[in-house]
Amino acid sequence: MIRVAAVGDVHLGPDVRGRIRPHLDDIAGCADVLLLAGDLTQHGTVPEAEVVVEEFRDLAVPVIAVLGNHDFQCDSPGDITRMLRDAGITVLEGSGVVLGLPGGRLGVGGGKGFGGGFRGRSGSEFGEPEMKAFVRHSRELAEALGAALRGLDAEYRVCLTHYAPVADTLAGEPPEIYPFLGSYFLAEAADSAGVDLAVHGHAHAGQECGTTPGGIAVRNVALPVIRRAFAVYTLDHQEGVRHPDEARIPAPAV
């Protein structure tokens, strides 16, 4: 059994400091790993990344992050990635990592992902070069993510992105902006690898729970959605719990 803690969209900065850290001291008591689903900073600056480092460094559990669109705003994703890695935080982009945890080997494949929309209502690589570039960028990021996920040699596998892989977890956002919130390419990547869980952020007004077309549980862990320092999902093949928090769902009445 593996307990996955996750939060996204913390949007830290010098004016938002020390808000999550106090809740992380005992994290090993309830989780085996912490995933950060992007938008770690508000403006994507180095001073903000320093606050992120202070907040999440030297935890009792491994920390794995992807960046979000806010972390790209000041053209410093490379600096931010380096700072996080120097602090011992794993940063994924079209890549994966396998952790030997007490409950088994956990593989996490991650990347920021991008927009484009969802099947039937999505952009395609057609027309103007700007439109082609937009959709191509999304597809290429998702392809690298899918390859990373399929390459994970682990008992449990999790897909970590900033952008949403499905529209389920966007309910509450205006439908008109769905193409800016995620892409079905990401769900396709997760389904191609048959992972146990897909975690994302980005959609502040969305909802927590959804499912990919292939039946993989999707969780939107944006802070404004979960409203707590992190959410915890349990993966347990022994118990036959495929749904990460099935224990919370009451048995259907006969």
Chain residues that interact with other proteins, rule: CB under 8 A: 3, 5, 10-13, 15-16, 19-20, 23, 27, 30, 42-43, 70, 73, 204-205, 223-224, 227-234, 244-245, 247-248
- At residue 10's C-alpha, the angle toward residues 197 and 226, to 5°, is 50
CA distance 199 to 8: 9
- Specify the DSSP element, H or E, that contains 10: none
- Of 120, 121, 134, which is closest to residue 176 (Cα–Cα)? 121
Query: What's the min distance (Å) between Cβ of 146 and other proteins?
Result: 27
- The token pair at 89 is 């935080």
Task: Give the shortest CB-233-to-other proteins separation in angstroms.
Answer: 5
In the complex with other proteins, the residue whose CB is nearer, 30 or 140, is: 30
Retrieve residue 205's tokens. Answer: 């007004």
What six digits make up the tokens of 74? 């000041």
Length of the chain: 254
Find out whether 76 and 44 touch, Cβ atoms under 8 Å: yes
DSSP 58: T
The least CB distance from residue 183 to other proteins, in Å, is 17
Residue 32 burial (CB < 10 Å; 0-12/13-18/19+)? Answer: buried
Instruction: Specify the residue, 21 or 150, whose C-beta has the smaller distance to other proteins.
Output: 21
DSSP SS3 for 44: coil
Which of residues 25 and 125 has its CB atom nearest to other proteins in the complex?
A: 25
| Coil vs helix vs strand at 231 | strand
d(CA 136, CA 138): 5
CB of 18 to other proteins, least distance (A): 10
Q: Of 193, 143, 141, which Cα lies nearest the Cα of 162?
A: 141
For other proteins, the closer of residues 45 and 81 by Cβ is: 45
How near is the Cβ of 236 to other proteins at its closest, in Å?
A: 11
- Least distance (Å) between residue 53 CB and other proteins: 17
Closer Cβ to other proteins, 143 or 245, answer by number: 245
157, containing H or E segment:
strand 156-161
Nearest-approach distance from CB 150 to other proteins, in angstroms:
27
